[in-house]
Structure 1
Amino acid sequence: MDSSLAITMSFGALSRTMSPGEEAVFGRSPECAFQIDPDDTAISRKAGVVRAENDVWFVVNTSVACTLEIVDDFGFPSVLAPGRKRPLQGEMRIRLSGNQKHEIVVHAPLTDAPVTEDEPEGQPTAIGASVALTPEERAVLVALFAGYLHEGAKYDPYPRTYDAAAARLRMTPSKVRKKVEYLRTRLTRAGVPNMDGLLNLAQYVLAKRLITKDDLGLL
Protein backbone atom coordinates (compact mmCIF):
# COMPACT_ATOMS: atom_id res chain seq x y z
CA MET A 1 0.00 0.00 0.00
CA ASP A 2 1.35 3.43 -1.01
CA SER A 3 0.69 5.35 2.21
CA SER A 4 0.96 8.70 0.41
CA LEU A 5 -2.19 7.86 -1.58
CA ALA A 6 -4.10 6.09 1.19
CA ILE A 7 -7.31 7.39 2.72
CA THR A 8 -8.69 6.60 6.17
CA MET A 9 -12.39 6.62 7.00
CA SER A 10 -13.75 6.44 10.54
CA PHE A 11 -17.28 6.04 11.85
CA GLY A 12 -17.54 5.51 15.57
CA ALA A 13 -15.24 2.63 16.51
CA LEU A 14 -14.97 1.44 12.89
CA SER A 15 -11.95 2.61 10.90
CA ARG A 16 -10.69 1.57 7.47
CA THR A 17 -7.66 2.58 5.40
CA MET A 18 -7.83 2.15 1.63
CA SER A 19 -5.61 2.54 -1.42
CA PRO A 20 -6.73 3.63 -4.90
CA GLY A 21 -8.67 0.78 -6.49
CA GLU A 22 -10.62 0.12 -3.30
CA GLU A 23 -13.87 1.77 -2.33
CA ALA A 24 -16.18 2.00 0.67
CA VAL A 25 -19.95 2.30 0.42
CA PHE A 26 -21.83 3.85 3.33
CA GLY A 27 -25.51 3.85 4.15
CA ARG A 28 -28.24 2.00 6.02
CA SER A 29 -27.87 -1.34 4.22
CA PRO A 30 -25.97 -4.18 5.96
CA GLU A 31 -24.09 -4.62 2.68
CA CYS A 32 -22.30 -1.30 3.22
CA ALA A 33 -18.71 -1.17 4.45
CA PHE A 34 -19.88 1.56 6.83
CA GLN A 35 -23.39 0.73 7.97
CA ILE A 36 -25.10 3.75 9.45
CA ASP A 37 -28.00 3.26 11.88
CA PRO A 38 -30.06 0.48 10.20
CA ASP A 39 -33.22 1.68 11.95
CA ASP A 40 -32.93 5.26 10.68
CA THR A 41 -35.12 5.02 7.59
CA ALA A 42 -34.48 8.68 6.71
CA ILE A 43 -31.02 7.58 5.53
CA SER A 44 -30.62 5.96 2.11
CA ARG A 45 -29.78 2.27 1.99
CA LYS A 46 -26.70 3.19 -0.04
CA ALA A 47 -26.12 6.86 0.65
CA GLY A 48 -22.70 7.26 -0.94
CA VAL A 49 -19.34 5.82 -1.82
CA VAL A 50 -15.74 6.94 -1.37
CA ARG A 51 -13.40 5.96 -4.19
CA ALA A 52 -10.37 7.22 -6.10
CA GLU A 53 -10.18 8.43 -9.68
CA ASN A 54 -6.68 8.97 -11.08
CA ASP A 55 -5.32 8.82 -7.51
CA VAL A 56 -7.67 11.59 -6.31
CA TRP A 57 -10.28 10.56 -3.75
CA PHE A 58 -13.92 11.52 -4.15
CA VAL A 59 -17.13 11.11 -2.22
CA VAL A 60 -20.08 10.36 -4.48
CA ASN A 61 -23.69 10.82 -3.41
CA THR A 62 -25.38 7.66 -4.70
CA SER A 63 -28.78 8.40 -3.16
CA VAL A 64 -31.68 9.24 -5.46
CA ALA A 65 -33.28 11.68 -3.02
CA CYS A 66 -31.10 12.55 -0.01
CA THR A 67 -28.33 15.12 0.17
CA LEU A 68 -25.03 14.79 2.01
CA GLU A 69 -23.30 17.54 3.95
CA ILE A 70 -19.55 17.79 3.37
CA VAL A 71 -17.50 19.72 5.93
CA ASP A 72 -14.07 20.76 4.69
CA ASP A 73 -10.92 21.09 6.78
CA PHE A 74 -11.75 24.74 7.53
CA GLY A 75 -15.09 23.77 9.07
CA PHE A 76 -17.19 25.12 6.19
CA PRO A 77 -20.19 22.97 5.22
CA SER A 78 -21.52 22.43 1.71
CA VAL A 79 -24.37 20.37 0.30
CA LEU A 80 -23.67 17.46 -2.04
CA ALA A 81 -26.73 16.75 -4.15
CA PRO A 82 -27.75 13.25 -5.32
CA GLY A 83 -25.60 12.04 -8.20
CA ARG A 84 -22.85 14.61 -7.54
CA LYS A 85 -19.29 14.04 -6.33
CA ARG A 86 -16.79 16.07 -4.34
CA PRO A 87 -12.98 15.67 -4.07
CA LEU A 88 -11.59 14.84 -0.64
CA GLN A 89 -8.40 16.43 0.68
CA GLY A 90 -7.06 16.60 4.21
CA GLU A 91 -9.41 16.05 7.14
CA MET A 92 -13.02 16.28 6.02
CA ARG A 93 -16.34 15.05 7.34
CA ILE A 94 -19.29 13.46 5.58
CA ARG A 95 -22.51 14.15 7.49
CA LEU A 96 -25.78 12.31 6.97
CA SER A 97 -29.03 13.73 8.29
CA GLY A 98 -31.64 11.22 9.31
CA ASN A 99 -33.62 11.08 12.52
CA GLN A 100 -30.30 12.17 13.99
CA LYS A 101 -26.94 13.37 12.63
CA HIS A 102 -24.32 10.81 11.62
CA GLU A 103 -20.73 11.70 10.76
CA ILE A 104 -17.94 9.90 8.92
CA VAL A 105 -14.47 11.41 9.38
CA VAL A 106 -12.12 11.19 6.40
CA HIS A 107 -8.35 11.74 6.30
CA ALA A 108 -7.38 12.03 2.64
CA PRO A 109 -4.01 12.85 1.05
CA LEU A 110 -3.37 16.35 -0.20
CA THR A 111 -2.90 16.47 -3.95
CA ASP A 112 -0.34 18.51 -5.84
CA ALA A 113 -2.91 19.55 -8.42
CA PRO A 114 -3.57 23.31 -8.56
CA VAL A 115 -6.83 24.49 -7.08
CA THR A 116 -7.31 27.08 -9.81
CA GLU A 117 -6.25 27.12 -13.44
CA ASP A 118 -4.08 29.81 -15.01
CA GLU A 119 -2.73 31.10 -11.71
CA PRO A 120 -1.50 34.66 -12.35
CA GLU A 121 2.19 35.35 -12.04
CA GLY A 122 3.66 37.60 -9.37
CA GLN A 123 3.80 37.78 -5.61
CA PRO A 124 1.01 35.99 -3.69
CA THR A 125 -1.74 38.10 -2.22
CA ALA A 126 -0.93 39.17 1.33
CA ILE A 127 -4.13 41.04 2.18
CA GLY A 128 -4.57 41.18 5.94
CA ALA A 129 -1.24 39.45 6.61
CA SER A 130 -0.01 42.38 8.71
CA VAL A 131 -2.88 42.05 11.21
CA ALA A 132 -1.89 40.01 14.27
CA LEU A 133 -4.37 38.83 16.88
CA THR A 134 -4.03 39.71 20.53
CA PRO A 135 -4.66 36.87 23.01
CA GLU A 136 -8.01 38.42 23.97
CA GLU A 137 -9.06 38.76 20.33
CA ARG A 138 -8.18 35.12 19.70
CA ALA A 139 -10.28 34.04 22.68
CA VAL A 140 -13.20 36.17 21.46
CA LEU A 141 -13.02 34.64 17.98
CA VAL A 142 -12.93 31.12 19.41
CA ALA A 143 -15.93 31.86 21.62
CA LEU A 144 -17.87 33.24 18.65
CA PHE A 145 -16.91 30.57 16.11
CA ALA A 146 -16.37 27.47 18.28
CA GLY A 147 -19.22 25.70 16.51
CA TYR A 148 -17.17 25.52 13.31
CA LEU A 149 -14.22 24.00 15.18
CA HIS A 150 -16.04 21.24 17.04
CA GLU A 151 -16.60 17.78 15.59
CA GLY A 152 -19.50 15.39 15.90
CA ALA A 153 -22.67 16.48 17.65
CA LYS A 154 -21.10 19.77 18.78
CA TYR A 155 -20.37 20.90 15.22
CA ASP A 156 -22.56 23.93 14.47
CA PRO A 157 -21.48 26.10 11.49
CA TYR A 158 -23.00 29.34 12.71
CA PRO A 159 -21.52 32.20 14.75
CA ARG A 160 -22.66 32.47 18.34
CA THR A 161 -24.22 35.68 19.59
CA TYR A 162 -22.20 38.33 21.37
CA ASP A 163 -24.12 37.52 24.55
CA ALA A 164 -23.29 33.80 24.31
CA ALA A 165 -19.61 34.49 23.61
CA ALA A 166 -19.44 36.96 26.48
CA ALA A 167 -20.91 34.40 28.87
CA ARG A 168 -18.24 31.85 27.88
CA LEU A 169 -15.46 34.39 28.43
CA ARG A 170 -16.94 36.11 31.47
CA MET A 171 -16.84 39.42 29.63
CA THR A 172 -19.59 41.92 28.98
CA PRO A 173 -21.27 41.70 25.56
CA SER A 174 -20.20 45.28 24.84
CA LYS A 175 -16.54 44.38 25.40
CA VAL A 176 -16.81 41.40 23.05
CA ARG A 177 -18.46 43.59 20.42
CA LYS A 178 -15.73 46.26 20.76
CA LYS A 179 -13.00 43.63 20.34
CA VAL A 180 -14.65 42.40 17.15
CA GLU A 181 -15.20 45.90 15.77
CA TYR A 182 -11.59 46.88 16.43
CA LEU A 183 -10.33 43.74 14.68
CA ARG A 184 -12.73 44.25 11.78
CA THR A 185 -11.52 47.85 11.38
CA ARG A 186 -7.87 46.76 11.26
CA LEU A 187 -8.61 44.03 8.72
CA THR A 188 -10.54 46.47 6.53
CA ARG A 189 -7.66 48.96 6.64
CA ALA A 190 -5.31 46.11 5.68
CA GLY A 191 -7.37 45.54 2.53
CA VAL A 192 -9.59 42.63 3.55
CA PRO A 193 -12.98 43.12 1.83
CA ASN A 194 -16.48 42.42 3.12
CA MET A 195 -15.75 42.54 6.84
CA ASP A 196 -19.33 43.42 7.70
CA GLY A 197 -21.20 40.76 9.65
CA LEU A 198 -19.98 37.86 11.77
CA LEU A 199 -20.42 35.31 8.98
CA ASN A 200 -17.90 37.06 6.72
CA LEU A 201 -15.48 37.44 9.62
CA ALA A 202 -15.86 33.73 10.43
CA GLN A 203 -15.09 32.74 6.85
CA TYR A 204 -11.96 34.89 6.82
CA VAL A 205 -10.44 33.83 10.15
CA LEU A 206 -11.18 30.14 9.53
CA ALA A 207 -9.87 30.16 5.96
CA LYS A 208 -6.69 31.90 7.14
CA ARG A 209 -6.46 29.50 10.09
CA LEU A 210 -6.22 32.39 12.53
CA ILE A 211 -8.04 30.05 14.89
CA THR A 212 -8.11 26.24 14.81
CA LYS A 213 -9.64 23.45 16.87
CA ASP A 214 -6.47 23.48 18.98
CA ASP A 215 -7.65 26.86 20.31
CA LEU A 216 -10.81 25.39 21.84
CA GLY A 217 -8.82 25.01 25.05
CA LEU A 218 -9.03 28.79 25.45
CA LEU A 219 -12.68 28.44 26.46
Structure 2
Amino acid sequence: MALRSGAVAVVAAPAEVVTEPPALGTLQVRYGDVRAEVAPGSEFSIGRDADLTVDDNPYVQRRFLRLHIEGGLWWIENTGRLSARLTDGSGQLQASLPPGTRLPLVFDRTRIVFAAGTANYELEVSSDAPVFGPPVATTPTASTPTADLVGHVPLTRGQRRLIVALAEPLLRDRPTGRAEIPGSAEAADRLGWTLTAFNRKLDTVCEKLDRIGVTGLRGGRGNLATNRRLRLVEHAVATRLVTVDDLGLLDAVPDTGGTAA
Protein backbone atom coordinates (compact mmCIF):
# COMPACT_ATOMS: atom_id res chain seq x y z
CA MET A 1 0.00 0.00 0.00
CA ALA A 2 1.44 3.40 -1.00
CA LEU A 3 1.33 6.39 1.37
CA ARG A 4 1.15 10.05 0.46
CA SER A 5 4.07 12.21 1.47
CA GLY A 6 3.84 13.14 5.15
CA ALA A 7 1.21 10.52 5.89
CA VAL A 8 1.63 8.36 8.94
CA ALA A 9 1.01 4.63 8.76
CA VAL A 10 -1.12 3.35 11.56
CA VAL A 11 -0.61 -0.30 12.29
CA ALA A 12 -3.17 -1.99 14.46
CA ALA A 13 -1.64 -3.64 17.51
CA PRO A 14 -2.29 -7.34 17.80
CA ALA A 15 -5.09 -8.22 20.12
CA GLU A 16 -3.85 -8.88 23.66
CA VAL A 17 -3.75 -12.56 24.43
CA VAL A 18 -5.36 -13.19 27.76
CA THR A 19 -4.20 -16.37 29.39
CA GLU A 20 -5.93 -17.88 32.32
CA PRO A 21 -3.78 -19.14 35.20
CA PRO A 22 -3.62 -22.92 35.29
CA ALA A 23 -6.45 -24.49 37.21
CA LEU A 24 -5.39 -25.74 40.60
CA GLY A 25 -6.21 -29.32 41.33
CA THR A 26 -7.30 -30.99 44.51
CA LEU A 27 -4.56 -32.17 46.85
CA GLN A 28 -4.54 -35.66 48.32
CA VAL A 29 -2.76 -36.04 51.65
CA ARG A 30 -1.66 -39.51 52.74
CA TYR A 31 -0.38 -40.44 56.17
CA GLY A 32 -0.21 -44.17 56.63
CA ASP A 33 -3.72 -45.51 56.09
CA VAL A 34 -5.26 -42.04 56.46
CA ARG A 35 -6.32 -40.23 53.28
CA ALA A 36 -7.63 -36.68 53.05
CA GLU A 37 -8.56 -34.37 50.17
CA VAL A 38 -7.98 -30.62 50.16
CA ALA A 39 -10.06 -28.75 47.58
CA PRO A 40 -9.01 -25.40 46.07
CA GLY A 41 -10.22 -22.54 48.23
CA SER A 42 -9.72 -24.38 51.51
CA GLU A 43 -6.87 -24.72 53.98
CA PHE A 44 -5.57 -27.82 55.69
CA SER A 45 -3.46 -28.23 58.81
CA ILE A 46 -1.21 -31.09 59.91
CA GLY A 47 -0.01 -31.61 63.45
CA ARG A 48 -0.81 -33.06 66.86
CA ASP A 49 -4.32 -31.55 66.96
CA ALA A 50 -5.14 -30.54 63.39
CA ASP A 51 -7.19 -31.45 60.32
CA LEU A 52 -4.80 -34.38 60.01
CA THR A 53 -3.54 -35.58 63.39
CA VAL A 54 -0.29 -37.47 62.96
CA ASP A 55 0.24 -38.43 66.60
CA ASP A 56 -0.17 -37.37 70.21
CA ASN A 57 3.61 -36.93 70.39
CA PRO A 58 4.15 -33.78 72.50
CA TYR A 59 7.15 -32.85 70.34
CA VAL A 60 4.80 -32.34 67.38
CA GLN A 61 3.09 -28.94 67.46
CA ARG A 62 -0.70 -28.76 67.38
CA ARG A 63 -0.51 -26.97 64.02
CA PHE A 64 2.79 -27.93 62.43
CA LEU A 65 2.18 -27.64 58.68
CA ARG A 66 -0.41 -25.67 56.70
CA LEU A 67 -1.55 -26.20 53.10
CA HIS A 68 -3.13 -23.20 51.40
CA ILE A 69 -3.38 -21.33 48.09
CA GLU A 70 -1.72 -18.01 47.38
CA GLY A 71 -0.75 -16.37 44.08
CA GLY A 72 -2.25 -19.16 42.03
CA LEU A 73 -0.17 -21.91 43.68
CA TRP A 74 -0.57 -24.42 46.45
CA TRP A 75 1.88 -23.79 49.32
CA ILE A 76 3.07 -25.77 52.31
CA GLU A 77 3.99 -23.59 55.28
CA ASN A 78 5.83 -24.57 58.45
CA THR A 79 3.96 -22.94 61.33
CA GLY A 80 5.64 -25.02 64.04
CA ARG A 81 9.05 -25.33 65.65
CA LEU A 82 10.30 -28.49 63.95
CA SER A 83 11.95 -28.73 60.54
CA ALA A 84 10.78 -30.95 57.71
CA ARG A 85 12.40 -32.26 54.55
CA LEU A 86 10.56 -32.34 51.24
CA THR A 87 11.30 -34.22 48.03
CA ASP A 88 9.47 -34.51 44.73
CA GLY A 89 8.64 -38.15 45.39
CA SER A 90 11.49 -39.54 43.31
CA GLY A 91 14.15 -38.18 45.65
CA GLN A 92 15.88 -36.31 42.83
CA LEU A 93 14.79 -32.91 44.17
CA GLN A 94 14.85 -32.03 47.83
CA ALA A 95 14.42 -29.01 50.07
CA SER A 96 14.45 -28.18 53.75
CA LEU A 97 11.44 -26.50 55.37
CA PRO A 98 12.58 -24.80 58.60
CA PRO A 99 10.13 -23.11 60.99
CA GLY A 100 8.54 -19.99 59.54
CA THR A 101 9.22 -20.87 55.89
CA ARG A 102 7.05 -22.11 53.04
CA LEU A 103 7.45 -23.78 49.65
CA PRO A 104 5.15 -24.11 46.61
CA LEU A 105 3.76 -27.56 45.89
CA VAL A 106 4.41 -27.82 42.15
CA PHE A 107 5.04 -31.55 41.63
CA ASP A 108 2.64 -34.41 41.19
CA ARG A 109 3.89 -35.90 44.47
CA THR A 110 5.70 -34.35 47.41
CA ARG A 111 7.04 -36.52 50.22
CA ILE A 112 7.44 -34.96 53.66
CA VAL A 113 9.67 -36.49 56.33
CA PHE A 114 10.32 -35.05 59.77
CA ALA A 115 11.62 -36.16 63.16
CA ALA A 116 10.06 -35.39 66.56
CA GLY A 117 11.44 -36.75 69.82
CA THR A 118 12.60 -40.29 69.05
CA ALA A 119 10.19 -40.87 66.17
CA ASN A 120 10.29 -40.25 62.44
CA TYR A 121 7.20 -39.46 60.36
CA GLU A 122 6.45 -39.63 56.64
CA LEU A 123 3.58 -38.08 54.68
CA GLU A 124 2.82 -37.62 51.01
CA VAL A 125 0.93 -34.84 49.24
CA SER A 126 -0.13 -35.43 45.64
CA SER A 127 -1.89 -33.22 43.12
CA ASP A 128 -4.13 -34.16 40.20
CA ALA A 129 -3.02 -31.00 38.33
CA PRO A 130 0.68 -30.45 39.08
CA VAL A 131 2.64 -27.53 37.65
CA PHE A 132 5.53 -29.86 36.79
CA GLY A 133 5.32 -33.48 35.79
CA PRO A 134 7.46 -36.24 37.27
CA PRO A 135 11.18 -36.10 36.42
CA VAL A 136 12.63 -38.49 33.88
CA ALA A 137 14.34 -41.37 35.64
CA THR A 138 17.94 -42.08 34.75
CA THR A 139 18.98 -45.57 33.79
CA PRO A 140 22.15 -47.01 35.34
CA THR A 141 24.84 -47.90 32.84
CA ALA A 142 27.67 -50.39 32.81
CA SER A 143 29.98 -47.60 33.96
CA THR A 144 28.09 -47.13 37.21
CA PRO A 145 30.57 -47.88 40.04
CA THR A 146 30.06 -50.90 42.27
CA ALA A 147 29.85 -48.66 45.34
CA ASP A 148 26.32 -47.27 44.95
CA LEU A 149 26.33 -43.63 43.92
CA VAL A 150 23.09 -42.15 45.24
CA GLY A 151 22.85 -38.40 45.53
CA HIS A 152 26.56 -38.21 44.68
CA VAL A 153 27.43 -40.18 47.83
CA PRO A 154 29.33 -43.44 47.26
CA LEU A 155 28.22 -46.01 49.83
CA THR A 156 29.85 -49.30 50.63
CA ARG A 157 27.70 -52.32 51.35
CA GLY A 158 28.35 -51.99 55.08
CA GLN A 159 27.41 -48.31 55.12
CA ARG A 160 24.17 -49.04 53.29
CA ARG A 161 23.35 -51.87 55.71
CA LEU A 162 23.89 -49.50 58.65
CA ILE A 163 21.47 -46.92 57.24
CA VAL A 164 18.89 -49.59 56.46
CA ALA A 165 19.15 -50.98 60.01
CA LEU A 166 18.34 -47.54 61.43
CA ALA A 167 15.60 -46.81 58.88
CA GLU A 168 14.06 -50.31 59.02
CA PRO A 169 11.13 -49.41 61.30
CA LEU A 170 10.04 -46.54 59.06
CA LEU A 171 10.54 -48.53 55.86
CA ARG A 172 8.54 -51.49 57.21
CA ASP A 173 5.87 -49.42 59.00
CA ARG A 174 4.83 -47.21 56.09
CA PRO A 175 1.16 -48.10 56.66
CA THR A 176 1.39 -46.14 59.94
CA GLY A 177 3.69 -43.34 58.73
CA ARG A 178 5.40 -43.28 62.14
CA ALA A 179 8.32 -45.27 63.53
CA GLU A 180 10.66 -45.29 66.53
CA ILE A 181 14.29 -45.27 65.44
CA PRO A 182 16.43 -47.98 67.11
CA GLY A 183 19.31 -47.13 69.39
CA SER A 184 22.89 -47.83 68.37
CA ALA A 185 23.14 -51.01 70.44
CA GLU A 186 19.91 -52.39 68.98
CA ALA A 187 20.95 -51.58 65.40
CA ALA A 188 24.42 -53.06 65.96
CA ASP A 189 22.86 -56.27 67.24
CA ARG A 190 20.55 -56.37 64.22
CA LEU A 191 23.62 -56.27 61.97
CA GLY A 192 25.69 -58.68 64.02
CA TRP A 193 28.30 -56.00 64.73
CA THR A 194 29.93 -54.82 67.91
CA LEU A 195 28.78 -51.44 69.20
CA THR A 196 32.29 -50.07 68.61
CA ALA A 197 32.24 -51.12 64.96
CA PHE A 198 28.74 -49.69 64.51
CA ASN A 199 29.67 -46.30 65.98
CA ARG A 200 32.83 -46.12 63.88
CA LYS A 201 30.91 -46.79 60.69
CA LEU A 202 28.15 -44.37 61.72
CA ASP A 203 30.81 -41.67 62.13
CA THR A 204 32.08 -42.35 58.60
CA VAL A 205 28.60 -42.24 57.03
CA CYS A 206 27.74 -38.99 58.81
CA GLU A 207 31.04 -37.41 57.78
CA LYS A 208 30.40 -38.32 54.13
CA LEU A 209 26.97 -36.72 54.14
CA ASP A 210 28.17 -33.72 56.10
CA ARG A 211 30.78 -33.04 53.40
CA ILE A 212 28.04 -32.68 50.77
CA GLY A 213 26.05 -30.27 52.95
CA VAL A 214 23.64 -32.46 54.92
CA THR A 215 23.25 -30.69 58.26
CA GLY A 216 22.67 -32.10 61.73
CA LEU A 217 24.97 -35.11 61.41
CA ARG A 218 28.12 -33.85 63.11
CA GLY A 219 28.55 -34.45 66.82
CA GLY A 220 28.93 -31.55 69.17
CA ARG A 221 27.23 -29.55 71.83
CA GLY A 222 23.45 -29.95 71.68
CA ASN A 223 23.65 -32.66 69.03
CA LEU A 224 22.97 -35.92 70.84
CA ALA A 225 23.53 -39.30 69.24
CA THR A 226 19.75 -39.81 69.05
CA ASN A 227 19.37 -36.62 67.03
CA ARG A 228 22.11 -37.72 64.67
CA ARG A 229 20.45 -41.06 64.02
CA LEU A 230 17.06 -39.39 63.53
CA ARG A 231 18.53 -36.87 61.11
CA LEU A 232 20.30 -39.62 59.16
CA VAL A 233 17.07 -41.60 58.77
CA GLU A 234 15.12 -38.46 57.88
CA HIS A 235 17.57 -37.62 55.10
CA ALA A 236 17.99 -41.20 53.85
CA VAL A 237 14.25 -41.90 53.57
CA ALA A 238 13.34 -38.49 52.13
CA THR A 239 16.00 -38.64 49.41
CA ARG A 240 15.54 -42.37 48.77
CA LEU A 241 19.11 -43.04 49.77
CA VAL A 242 17.58 -46.27 51.05
CA THR A 243 14.24 -47.77 50.09
CA VAL A 244 12.07 -50.77 50.90
CA ASP A 245 14.01 -52.68 48.26
CA ASP A 246 17.13 -52.43 50.44
CA LEU A 247 15.58 -54.30 53.38
CA GLY A 248 16.95 -57.53 51.96
CA LEU A 249 20.43 -56.35 52.93
CA LEU A 250 19.56 -57.02 56.57
CA ASP A 251 18.92 -60.68 55.86
CA ALA A 252 22.07 -61.13 53.81
CA VAL A 253 25.14 -62.92 55.14
CA PRO A 254 26.27 -60.71 58.02
CA ASP A 255 29.64 -59.04 58.06
CA THR A 256 31.60 -58.05 61.11
CA GLY A 257 31.42 -54.34 60.46
CA GLY A 258 35.07 -54.22 61.33
CA THR A 259 36.36 -53.29 57.91
CA ALA A 260 36.95 -49.69 57.00
CA ALA A 261 33.56 -48.03 56.54
Q: TM-score, normalised by structure 1?
A: 0.50
Structure in which a larger fraction of residues adopt helix? 1
Task: Name which one, 1 or 2, has greater alpha-carbon Rg.
Answer: 2
Q: TM-score, normalised by structure 2?
A: 0.44
Q: Return the structure number with greater relative CO, CA threshold 8 A, min gap 6.
A: 2
